[in-house]
Structure 1
Amino acid sequence: MILHTLLDYETLRVIWWLLLGVLLIGFAVMDGFDLGVATLMPFVGKTDTERRVVINTIGPVWEGNQVWLILGGGAIFAAWPPLYAVSFSGFYLAMFAILFALILRPVGFKYRSKRESVVWRTSWDWALFIGGLVPALVMGVAVGNVLQGVPFHFSDDLRIFYDGTTLFELLNPYGLLAGLLSVAMLAMHGAGWLTLKTAGEVNARARRIGMIAAIATIALFAIGGFWLTLIDGYRFTSTIDTGGPSNPLYKTVEVTSGVWFQNYAAHPWMMIAPALGFLGALGSLLAFAAKKDGLPWLMSSVSILGIISTVGLSMFPFILPSNVDPKSSLTVWDASSSHMTLFIMLVCAVIFVPIIIAYTSFVYKVLWGKVAAKDVTDPSNHAY
């Protein structure tokens, strides 16, 4: 309880904002290459055996990687209840599209090779492609919409009302740009994984496509950053009690352009984030060109870290702005659970996250090495 006293409410809120970012980055890095590989599969695998090689680079690990998605969702639910309520209600159709696409993955892995039919296997190949592309695209679109503000408001008794209409309103120009950036980023990441886990023609095709994806990531990230200077951002116009009650209506907010870049002017060290986004993608591009196995994946991980961190640092302390009622916007200071809840969750995170990292590391050590054609054609290996 002494530690609980030392960690005041404001500090715990910042810690859980950071942990949420860590979990989202962990998901993008660990499960992101699965999505990227699935997206690339029809293009890097020209024969049935090659496509089986591609599938078996992620088949043994994709389920474990989704632990990060579950952790992220659980953290939002427990640490940021209003954020969970608004995002999972307002983005319901988008979430459903992601869920439907993700369901295709385990089904595709399990059933694709059950029949020799070309039509059967090709159909499942494209199902796996959808299972990789759609989540990557929709998640990026969601982030693009968060930066622009989401149509929701709170009533005086803190009931939440989502004022949006359909899924298609999310497909606005900036949202689609963010979606394309997400697809390019994860395609680059998936290509990097394939250079680490394959050889021969699959490896060579992955390098070529990875270079294109890296260039696209750099270009789209730059365009998105410039475009963001023209988009309205949000800032406080009232005094904020950073350790006060979680009531989003206890503030006033101003909407004006260029605000999302003010944190970088006030805290120049934050420029590290966008720099990592660009340098990681550039490093991945150069590593692809130099035919360095594994290095493209490491550099694309750095790029993912930088790009996602850029979004979080640009918006801080906002986590979900409202474009119909700015004072209803959710921030780090007014959308969290109670002081005690955040403390208990922190204790659990300190115990269990290292365990997850340890067993994940062990699994990857056991599965280390490239997947070859002989590995998937040998019946004794039980390959996908």
Structure 2
Amino acid sequence: MILFELVPFEFLRVVWWLLIGVMLIAFALTDGFDMGTGMLLPFVARTDLERRVVINTVGPVWEGNQVWFILGGGSIFAAWPPLYAISFSGFYMAMFLILTALILRPVAFKYRSKREGTRWRAMWDRALFIGGFVPALLFGVAVGNVLLGVPFHLTPDLMPVYEGGLFGKLFGLLRPFALLCGLVSLAMAVMLGAGWLVLKTEGVIQDRARAIGRPAALLALAGYLLAGIWLAYGIQGYGFVTEPPHDGPSNPLLHQVTHGGSWLTAYAERPWIAIAPVLGVLGTLMAWRAIGRRGELSPLGWAQLGGFGMIASVGLVMFPFILPSNTHPDSSLSVWDASSSHLTLFVMLVGGAIFLPLIMVYTAWVYRVLWGKVTPDEVENPDTHAY
């Protein structure tokens, strides 16, 4: 018997749903503090030296943090081709803006200190702010739209058709609930950035980061709770009329989907998933408390726990759906009917089992080597090659 046949198709589908979720959460929590630091730059640093200190806290790590974004996107392409095709088509304009903003960031890092002119450096500082603000906002807006459902359908030959039009691919995403999710994402990124700066800086920069981090944590928590109430009473969820076979063919049109009720009925069906929102609320509250109690490592740790809980709660509530359609519910994509083949998922799992641990070990080693405060003396020392 071929080896991959020993691993159930159902198991591989769930494992890749879980692994891609882990990759995207890892990106949100690591590159999230990069984005938050960029957004905080104009507010916590008032001199050029202070701004250089802030920039050099994330300068050595931001590229490694974006690896999770690349891994997640590549894994979606290979494991869930319909999800990749529809989401990148439907969110095309938003993704274009996100990638443009992300491209600004490395250019700003490299060119900011090439000249000493005030206007020159201020221009690149604004680019770093935009490089944090735009992705943080639009990633949250995208999550909100996934919960609301996306206007697409599948033709009988499974060709995806997005119904939003060119401008609808951007402005059609800016629905009130989605904008609320975007604001939660912004506040969470600022909270993470503040936690990072508390850990990596000292003196006035650290004090200013604390002053902004506390209200950001409360704003993230308030927005998350409001979104939960809105989700419970104002937004319809999705469900199967009959549960599809978990090892069946990857054809969403074989199953009938209902659009009604509430997403939050998932907590009654799978009570254990309540741990995610509990962690989201607890972690955010503890981050707010830790920032105020002058802790240095704990604010970032608690902020990441809160962010993990908030993001994980979305995936766990939606499971097994990964991209519902609000115009043609029967075209909605789920874990059970939108994956690649059994063999493809198995080969990917073998590769992931080899390379993911290496990436994690290397990332941990890099953070260990770079552990410690970034100080003005270190930034001004030409031997450190600081930005």
What interval of TM-score do these two structures reach, taking the shorter chain for normalisation? Answer: over 0.9
Match of 1:234 among 235, 238, 241: 238
SS of alignment partner, residue 72 of structure 2: helix
Hey, what's the Cα distance between the residues in 2 that align with 1:299 and 1:354?
24
Given residue 344 of structure 1, which amino acid in structure 2 is its aligned partner? V
1:364 aligns with 2:367: yes
Hey, what's the Cα distance between the residues in 2 that align with 1:257 and 1:100?
38
Equivalent positions of 1:28-107 (< 5 A) are 28-107=28-107
SS of alignment partner, residue 5 of structure 2: helix
Partner of 1:18: 18
Hey, what's the Cα distance between the residues in 1 that align with 2:363 and 2:18?
21
Hey, what's the Cα distance between the residues in 2 that align with 1:132 and 1:82?
29
SS of alignment partner, residue 237 of structure 2: strand
Q: CA deviation at 1:3?
A: 5.3
Partner of 1:171: 174
Give the CA RMSD over aligned residues. Answer: 1.0
Match of 1:244 among 235, 242, 248: 248
Q: CA deviation at 1:113?
A: 1.1
Hey, what's the Cα distance between the residues in 2 that align with 1:4 and 1:264?
34
Hey, what's the Cα distance between the residues in 2 that align with 1:169 and 1:40?
29
Equivalent positions of 1:164-203 (< 5 A) are 164-165=164-165, 166=167, 167-203=170-206
Q: CA deviation at 1:2?
A: 6.5
Equivalent positions of 1:150-169 (< 5 A) are 150-165=150-165, 166=167, 167-169=170-172
Partner of 1:279: 282
Hey, what's the Cα distance between the residues in 2 that align with 1:42 and 1:28?
22
Partner of 1:121: 121
Moved more, 321-330 or 372-381: 372-381
Map Cα deviations across residues 186-214 of structure 1 (whole Å, 9 max, x no partner): 11011101011000000001111110110
Hey, what's the Cα distance between the residues in 2 that align with 1:158 and 1:362?
45
Equivalent positions of 1:368-379 (< 5 A) are 368-379=371-382
Identity %: 60
Partner of 1:301: 304
Hey, what's the Cα distance between the residues in 2 that align with 1:7 and 1:227?
40
Map Cα deviations across residues 306-365 of structure 1 (whole Å, 9 max, x no partner): 011100011010000001100000000011000010011011111101000111111111
Equivalent positions of 1:322-361 (< 5 A) are 322-361=325-364
Hey, what's the Cα distance between the residues in 2 that align with 1:299 and 1:309?
15
Map Cα deviations across residues 251-290 of structure 1 (whole Å, 9 max, x no partner): 11111131x1111111211100000000010010010000
Q: How many residues align?
A: 383
Partner of 1:261: 264
Hey, what's the Cα distance between the residues in 1 that align with 2:160 and 2:271?
36
Match of 2:322 among 319, 322, 325: 319
TM-score (norm 2): 0.97
Hey, what's the Cα distance between the residues in 1 that align with 2:3 and 2:56?
46
Given residue 323 of structure 1, which amino acid in structure 2 is its aligned partner? N
Hey, what's the Cα distance between the residues in 2 that align with 1:9 and 1:40?
45
SS of alignment partner, residue 257 of structure 1: coil
Structure 1 stretches of 4+ with a deviation exceeding 2 A read 1-6
Map Cα deviations across residues 192-251 of structure 1 (whole Å, 9 max, x no partner): 010110000000011111101100111000000000011011101134111100001011
SS of alignment partner, residue 252 of structure 2: coil
Hey, what's the Cα distance between the residues in 2 that align with 1:238 and 1:269?
23
Hey, what's the Cα distance between the residues in 1 that align with 2:383 and 2:243?
67
SS of alignment partner, residue 153 of structure 1: strand
Hey, what's the Cα distance between the residues in 2 that align with 1:90 and 1:2?
38
- Structure 2 stretches of 5 or more lacking a match? none
SS of alignment partner, residue 246 of structure 1: coil
Hey, what's the Cα distance between the residues in 2 that align with 1:232 and 1:266?
17
Q: CA deviation at 1:5?
A: 2.8
Gap change, CA 1:5 and 1:372, over 3 Å in 2: same
Equivalent positions of 1:118-157 (< 5 A) are 118-157=118-157
Hey, what's the Cα distance between the residues in 1 that align with 2:243 and 2:363?
44
